[in-house]
Amino acid sequence: MGETSQQRLTAFWAAFGPGLLWAAAAIGVSHLVQSTRAGADAGLGLAGVILLALIVKYPFFEFGPRYAAATGTSLVEGYRRIGRWALWLYFAITVSTSLVIQSAIVLFTAFLLTYAFGLDWPLPFMGAVVLGGCAAMLWIGRFPWLDRMVKVILVLLAVSTVAAAVATLDRLDVGTLALLPPIGEGSGSVSFAFLLALVGWMPSAIDIAVWSSLWTLAKNEAARTTVSVTTARLDFGIGYVATGFLAFSFLILGAGIMFGSGTSFSGAGTVFATQLVDLYGTTLGGWMRPVVLVAVITTMLSTAVTVVDGFPRAIERTVRNLREPLEVAAGRPGGGTAYWVALAALGALTLLVLGAFVGSLTAMVDVATIVSFLTAPLLGYLNLRAVQSPDVAPEHRPSRRMVLLSWVGLILLAGTAAVFLISVIR
């Protein structure tokens, strides 16, 4: 290997990580529950839908690290440069969804940990353990520990999930493979509501593109380097491909083990996940149960730790931009007092929700997901405007094909949202 190649590899490794953090945040309920349920309900019939969602939503997520690397600022500053209304819109979406989404993820993680270790602890207490562990790791190790921990967790997640999926390959009914399964009732059919939910949250909500841009800047600060646009895009691309690969792995899990099994599956994500683990042990033998259990737990742990960091990081940056001049807000590093205040406040409110409103959490999550789903086209448009603005050098702006794909995605997202609203009104 020549010296130039070695230097490039060293530079890339120094910048590598934000894409995996984004992947860890995305690989959560959308994969563990939605992708697996897609396979359980329709076999491989929703593979085309998942692939389409991954393709058309890619630009809006990629614009986060692209913008950060090109401008040295986050998408939060990008929204502010578009207009304060854009920043207020993002802040409203974040505030209205952060508590409910974090509560649901902590609850899910706490439930799976009590199930895995046979504990009889109350879920609010186990939720406090999850939150306390995440907060302690972030307090002691800051961003570098988050970066390293997620890499380890994602390796365990990838190995265990792929191993479990491979074990089911001989059970797949390839005859179910289709671009779109029948809509309605009956074997192999899916409801229109589930189809919308799958598309809306595959691989994740558009608003976490902001997290990706913030993690890119945090990596620059931690590694004392300035990542290039090419490297930032490559780093994100690796994470995005991994996210898509695991989405299909979970689809195969559901299709190979649950499709056509005749088992009635729970609509609650936590119970559904434990049914998946138990069904694996029954079908393939007890030796596979720990493998699936590791896949399930690491999925939620990776999501929990990135969400506990992501929301406070975004809130801190947004509040700073709403209160201070742009040059001042953009020049200060993240992880300040406002970050820890937001993390502590969200943690305390999460425990309150788990203790007092756990029975209503499903309805609350539905509201939060609908808000993110309906605002996705607008946030996608803002991301596109940000990377096409004069603040981004012409050579770092998206190509014509990427812009075209973005507009196709916006039309599909807006159309899906319109169909959803019409179905609700009717």
Mean pLDDT of 134-148: 89
For residue 275, which amino acid is it? Q
Q: What is the CA radius of gyration of the chain?
A: 21
Tens of pLDDT, residue by residue over 311-328, are 999 999 999 999 988 877
Percentage of residues of the chain with pLDDT beyond 90: 42
- The DSSP element (H or E) to which 80 belongs, if any, is helix 75-82
Could you tell me which residues come within 8 angstroms of residue 103 by beta carbon, excluding any fewer than 6 positions away? 349, 350, 353, 354, 361, 364
Tens of pLDDT, residue by residue over 229-285, are 999 999 999 999 999 999 999 999 889 888 877 776 676 666 777 887 887 777 777
**Which residues are bridge partners to 190 per DSSP?**
183
Query: Is residue 9 within 8 Å of residue 276, measured between CB atoms?
Result: no
pLDDT of residue 380 exceeding 80: yes
- pLDDT at position 393 is 96
Tokens 């998942």 found at: 50
- pLDDT at position 1 is 45
**Which residues are bridge partners to 183 per DSSP?**
190
Tens of pLDDT, residue by residue over 19-40, are 999 999 998 877 888 888 888 8
Closest CA to 76 of 406, 322, 369, 335: 322
Closest CA to 84 of 314, 320, 322: 322
Mean pLDDT of 364-376: 77
Domains of the chain, with CATH numbers? 3-425 (1.20.1740.10)
Q: Cα separation of 234 and 236, whole Å?
A: 5
Could you tell me which residues come within 8 angstroms of residue 1 by beta carbon, excluding any fewer than 6 positions away? 9
**Treating both helix axes as pointing N-terminal to C-terminal, what angle do 47-71 and 400-425 enclose, rounded to 10 degrees?**
120
pLDDT of residue 3 exceeding 60: no
